[in-house]
Amino acid sequence: SQTIHQWPATLVQPVGSPLSLECTVEGTSNPNLYWYRQAAGRGLQLLFYSVGIGQISSEVPQNLSASRPQDRQFILSSKKLLLSDSGFYLCAWSVLRRVSGNTIYFGEGSWLTVV
């Protein structure tokens, strides 16, 4: 069965410090990978998605970047955090299929508080 691991679960970082959130998927190959952000328990905003190693698409301009160094590894980074980067970050994966959309499977999320 497929599993997704995301860490750390919680972190508090000072403004201006770097960030690295990691996500790995097991039990599947060549998944689509996603980073979402959720503010105040409301809707999800897609930040990045990747259809393959080294292929990253950014949905919104921001202070964050993403990388996919391996097939099942997705990393969210920042060189200098802003207060507005605080939020709940969710990694997710799906399997690419033609014709119809894909069900997305989420990790447990990472709470980031920038102070």
Using CB under 8 A as the criterion, which residues of the chain lie in contact with other proteins when the complex forms?
6, 32, 41-44, 46, 49, 51, 88, 90, 92, 94-109, 111
Report the nearest approach of other proteins to the CB of residue 96 (Å): 7
**Helix or strand or coil: residue 85?**
helix
Residue 29 or 103: the one with the smaller Cβ distance to other proteins is 103
Most distant pair of Cα atoms in the chain: their distance: 45
Nearest to other proteins of 40, 83 (CB atom): 40
Q: What is the DSSP letter of 79?
A: S
Question: What are the CA-CA distances from residue 39 to residues 9, 15, 94 (Å)?
Answer: 16, 18, 22
> Which of 45, 42, 55, 114 is CA-nearest to residue 85?
114
Nearer to other proteins, 83 or 99 (CB): 99
